[in-house]
Each structure stands twice: as structure tokens, then as C-alpha cells.
Amino acid sequence: MRHHLILRVITKILVGAIMLFAFYVQFHGDFSPGGGFQAGVIMAVAFILYGIVFSLDSVKRVFPPWLVHKLVALGVLLYAATGVLSMFLGYSFLDYDAFVPSHPSSGQHYGILAVELGVGITVTAVMVAIYYAFAGRPPRLSDEEW
Amino acid sequence: MLILTAIAVVRMHSLFAVAMLSGVFSLLSALLFVTLDAVDVAFTEAAVGAGISTVLVLGTLALTSRFEKPTKRSPIIPLFVVFVTGAALIYGTLDMPNFGSPDAPAQTHVGPDYLERSVEEIDIPNVVTAILASYRGYDTLGETAVVFTAGIGVLLLISGFSRRRRRDDDDDEESEET
């Protein structure tokens, strides 16, 4: 899409805003609608938009596929590790009271933050990985046919 | 509006227009969820349904053809199946309590418990997040694992296959056995 000047300029402005919004949805999910799933999707949209308007190669330079594949697993691991950690602290699996026993509700805050982050990482990475997989194959339609 | 879009999707033959219209359909159902006060669901529907799936459908479209193949079968049997299923679903809703009725199972089972206890136990204003991440933490872990598995599956199906074929033709027989 080398010739679409307006698209390229607007995308450059929007990608940052989309990422910022993703972080807002991620970390403000305790107080407003949203959470890991939605934030992950929005974050992935930022990368995918960049990939569509510029090129697959330029987005792969920003967010290399090996990192994406590692992050897919890292999110689930972070989630499960939160649960295992609370078990090591003497509480049941995924009981976030364990993190601050003197003040259980702030322990809950930390726990929810950690698991939502895990969800967000996995969802972002999976969406971007699926997009890479689809866009990486040679298309049968040329640009003019659209 | 939803029904009009759905009919347009069925009638169209240009797959590009169908992909775009299904995005519109998702956006309209997101609006429906907002009207029902399910903001979190609406958020997900707008982001996933209208955003990502449209892009993925377009990506698939680039790999196949642009127009639907004309079918020669008569539409009567599918239409009959759809009508019977729809009638059964509507008959099922007759027994359901009215929307927002205080006697509904959704309002009497564990719902009030969560609403009362989450303020002091978790102290988070968004009860949806509290239930999702804390009370139902196991379920959400399972959901994350589902997303993970789906991603791995797509990677294996699409990128893994092409990479294997490109690397060496001789390896194909061995790897198919495993």
C-alpha cells in the first residue's frame, strides 16, 4: 500500500493511541469495563493495522515472530504461576489472599492484575501469530483485483 | 437492522462484501449488548467480532477466490431445517423469565452473593472483573488455555505445514507418520 499516503499518515498517528487505549483497558479493567481479553485484542489490532497498511515485513521487524511465539506460552505460564505461587504461600490454588495476608483485598488486587496481564499477553500473541500465519502465505489475489 | 444485515449477507455473492457486512453485523450486536447493559460483552464483541475476525476473514479471502460458487441444490431442505430450529429456540424462550425479572435463576442463585461479598473481599468496583479473575479464576485459566491451544492449532495447520514442505520433500514421509 505504498501509494496510500493518507492511510499511512493516519495509521502512524493511530497506532500509538490504540496501544495506549489497550494499556488503559488492561490496567483499568478493575474499575471500568474491560480486562485482559479485550485489551489483548486491541493491542493485537494495533500491530495488525500496522502490518496491513505498511507491510508484513515491517511489522515483523517491530514484533518478531519468535517473540510472538514465546509470548503465547508466557501468558498462560504467568497465569498458572500466579496460582502455583499462592499454593507455595500456603493458600489454595489461585487464592490471591496469599499475596498480602494482612490485607486480603489488596492481595486480590495484585493477583487479579497478574492473571489479567497473563490473559492479555496470551491473547495479543495468539491474535498476532494467527495474523502472521494467514498473511505470511502468498496471496492468490493481486492488489488490483480488490 | 440486524435482520436486514443478515439477509444481505445471505443474498450477496461477492465474498468481500459479505466479510464487511459480517463486521457490520458484529458491530450492531455489540450495540444490542450495550442496550442490555452488558458492556464487557459488547466490548469483546466489538473488538473481536468486528475487528479481528473481519481482518482474518479478509486474510483468508486473499488466499481463496473472491466470489461464491453458484450452487445448484434447492434451498428448501436447509430452509426447513433453519425454520424448525428457529421455532424450537423461540418455543424455548417462552419458558424463560422476563428480562430483568427478580425471580430469574440468574438473580437468585450465586449472583447476589457475589454482589454483596465482592465489595469487602475484593474491593474492586467492576464486579465482572472480580468474578472473572478471582471467584472464577479456574475457568478463566481454562479459557486462556483454550486461546493458547487455538493459537497453537492454527500455527500447526497453516505455518507449520508450509515450512515443512519448503524445507525438504524427503522429510515429508517421515513426519507424516509421527
A47-90: pLDDT as tens digits: 988 988 888 888 888 888 889 989 988 989 998 898 888 888 88
- Looking at the structure of chain B, the number of domains it has is 1
Asked whether the predicted pLDDT for residue B84 surpasses 90, the reply is yes
- Give chain A's mean pLDDT: 84
Q: Which residue has the cell 430452509?
A: B79
With 70 as the cut, is the pLDDT of residue B31 above it? yes
Q: Which residues of chain B lie closer than 8 angstroms to A44, CB-CB?
A: 52
Q: What pLDDT sits at residue B175?
A: 44
A33, pLDDT greater than 90: no
Assess A77–B contact: CB distance below 8 Å, yes or no. Answer: no
Closest CA to B28 of B43, B46, B11: B46
Burial class, A35, CB count within 10 angstroms (exposed 0-12 / middle 13-18 / buried 19+): buried
Is residue B50 domain-resident? Answer: yes
Q: Is residue B13 part of a domain?
A: yes
Note whether residue B86 is domain-resident.
yes
- pLDDT band of residue B7 (cuts 50, 70, 90) is confident
Tell me which chain A residues have a C-beta less than 8 angstroms from the C-beta of B56.
Answer: 130-131, 134
Q: Determine whether the interchain pair A130/B154 forms a contact, defined as Cβ–Cβ distance below 8 Å.
A: yes
A-B interface: how many C-beta pairs under 8 angstroms? 146
pLDDT surpasses 60 at A143: no
- Is the model's pLDDT at B178 over the cut of 50? no
pLDDT at res. B60: 81
Note whether B47 contacts A34, CB cutoff 8 Å.
Answer: no
Q: pLDDT band at B174, cuts 50/70/90?
A: very low
Domain assignment present for residue B158? The answer is no
Name the pLDDT band for A140 (thresholds 50, 70, 90): low
Give pLDDT, residue A145.
Answer: 56
pLDDT > 90 in chain B, percent? 7
Contacts of A128 (CB under 8 A, 6+ apart): A44, A47, A48, A63, A68
Supply the angle between the helices A5-27 and A104-135 in degrees, to the nearest 10.
Answer: 150
Q: Which of A9-23, B114-128, B164-178 has the highest mean pLDDT?
A: A9-23
Q: Is A141 in CB contact (< 8 Å) with chain B?
A: yes
B171 touches chain A (CB under 8 A): no
Comparing CA positions, the residue from A39, A120, A34, A11 lying closest to residue B42 is A34
Q: Please give the residue range of the domain that contains residue B87.
A: 1-96
In a domain, residue B111? The reply is: no
- Whole-number pLDDT of residue B160: 56
